[in-house]
Amino acid sequence: MSDTNMSGKVIVITGATSGIGQVAAEQLAGMGARIVQVARDRERGEAAMNRLRELRPGVAHAIYYADLSRLSEMKRVAAEIAAAQPHVDVLINNAGAMFGSRQLTEDGMERTFALNHVSYFVLTHGLKARLLASSPARIVNTASDAHEPATLEFDDLQSARAYRGNFWESLRYGGPGFKVYARSKLCNILFTRELARRLAGTGVTANSLHPGFVATRFGDETGGLISFGIRIAKNFALSPQQGAETLVYLASSPDVAGVTGQYFHKCAPATPSKEAQDDSKAQRLWSETAALSGLPE
Ligand SMILES: NC(=O)c1ccc[n+]([C@@H]2O[C@H](COP(=O)([O-])OP(=O)(O)OC[C@H]3O[C@@H](n4cnc5c(N)ncnc54)[C@H](OP(=O)(O)O)[C@@H]3O)[C@@H](O)[C@H]2O)c1
């Protein structure tokens, strides 16, 4: 574990009831940080809170509940946290999943897009004032190297076409669910680039990362051939401890205090796909997401 002292730092993290986020939250709490987590399941949320309390008794960790695939809950939870926590040093957008078939949320958004991308956007928007007031501060977005084959099609952001796929695409991606997931992870990198550009000079940094292929609960509920393939592949995957390394590094290391707009893998800057470096697509994605979320640009 790092010897960086995070005492007095407040870290808001999503997806910390399991996998990479759980390990990262526990390690950061072990370094002295106060963890404010957003979870959807009360039983797993309470279990996560009990583990955190045991690590550092006396630190007032907090938990808020929200289904981050629903726009109203993203906005509500961001507003609740902003009202209760005057200080936010680090925001970690990490909750994510892959869905084998196309599902629409109550907002009419495709579920992968809503959870993996729109929740990052809305939570960041809701906590931006707190991060700016706490500058220097950091935003860390969990992306994936799964973004590499993806392209962004603005006339199909809700993946009506992408989920239909075709035989060749199924062979290439292992199923349409993976194609849509890959695109959502491309969105994470493009969002981070545009966010960093907009935050330049404020002391708030924004970086994204690929954690590696990690044996977590990821893929368990995707369904079909993809879940089967992931289950087999997990035998060769990193442990959640290894998978959390870059996340913890970006959230805490003094080495990256002023670094922004980068994509990291193995605690070092990495080069994402050409599509993920397209600044005009990053700007357009920002505008489209703001409009879809009913938020100002
Ligand atoms: N595992 C990998 O190989 C890998 C590789 C690259 C990137 N990633 C990325 O890493 C991140 C974390 O994934 P993981 O591997 O740690 O998977 P995981 O073990 O399945 O954890 C996912 C986390 O997201 C939460 N979550 C899922 N849906 C949610 C919703 N609707 N509302 C609120 N929270 C929700 C889960 O909560 P519950 O406990 O309630 O399910 C859980 O805490 C994801 O963004 C994923 O895309 C993973």
Over the stretch 29-72, which tens digit does the pLDDT of each residue have? 999 999 999 999 999 999 999 999 999 888 999 999 999 999 99
Residue 60 CA, ligand 1 centroid: distance in Å: 24
Using the predicted structure, report yes or no on whether residue 173 has a pLDDT greater than 80. no
Q: Is the CB of 44 under 6 A from ligand 1?
A: yes
Residue 229 CA, ligand 1 centroid: distance in Å: 18
- How many Cα atoms occupy the beta-carbon half-sphere of 207 within 13 Å? 30
Atom of ligand 1 nearest to the CA of 143: 7
Do residues 163 and 101 make contact, with C-beta atoms less than 8 angstroms apart?
A: yes
Read off the pLDDT of each residue in 246-252 and give the average, rounded to a whole number. Answer: 98
Q: Is the CB of 293 under 6 A from ligand 1?
A: no
Residue 201 CA, ligand 1 centroid: distance in Å: 31
Q: Is the CB of 67 under 6 A from ligand 1?
A: yes
**Confidence category of residue 181, pLDDT binned at 50, 70, 90:** very high
Q: How far, in Å, are 12, 40, 100, 141, 286 from residue 211 at the CA level?
A: 19, 22, 22, 11, 24
Read off the pLDDT of each residue in 197-214 and give the average, rounded to a whole number. Answer: 97
Amino acid at 176: P
**What is the predicted pLDDT for the residue at 172?**
63
7-35 pLDDT, tens digit each: 999 999 999 999 999 999 999 999 999 99
Please state, for a pLDDT cut of 70, what percent of the chain lies above it: 96
How far is residue 260's CA from residue 207's CA, in Å, rounded to a whole number?
A: 6
Do residues 100 and 226 make contact, with C-beta atoms less than 8 angstroms apart?
A: yes
Active-site positions read 181
Read off the pLDDT of each residue in 212-241 and give the average, rounded to a whole number. Answer: 86
Residue 217 CA, ligand 1 centroid: distance in Å: 7
For helices 119-133 and 71-84, give the axis angle rounded to 10 degrees: 10
Q: Is the CB of 69 under 6 A from ligand 1?
A: yes
Average confidence score pLDDT of the chain: 94
Record the tokens describing residue 256, joined without a space: 């990256």
Atom of ligand 1 nearest to the CA of 181: 47
Q: How far, in Å, are 40, 153, 242, 267, 293 from residue 250 at the CA level?
A: 25, 30, 14, 8, 27
111-154 pLDDT, tens digit each: 999 999 999 999 999 999 999 999 999 999 999 999 999 999 99
**What is the predicted pLDDT for the residue at 227?**
77
Do residues 27 and 52 make contact, with C-beta atoms less than 8 angstroms apart?
A: no
Q: Is the CB of 73 under 6 A from ligand 1?
A: no
Do residues 125 and 16 make contact, with C-beta atoms less than 8 angstroms apart?
A: no
Closest residue CA from atom 1 of ligand 1: 214
Q: Is the CB of 141 under 6 A from ligand 1?
A: no
How far is residue 4's CA from residue 11's CA, in Å, rounded to a whole number?
A: 14
How far is residue 97's CA from residue 152's CA, in Å, rounded to a whole number?
A: 18
65-108 pLDDT, tens digit each: 999 999 999 999 999 999 999 999 999 999 999 998 899 999 99
Residue 143 CA, ligand 1 centroid: distance in Å: 11
Atom of ligand 1 nearest to the CA of 215: 1
Record the tokens describing residue 102, joined without a space: 């196309």
How far is residue 129's CA from residue 197's CA, in Å, rounded to a whole number?
A: 16
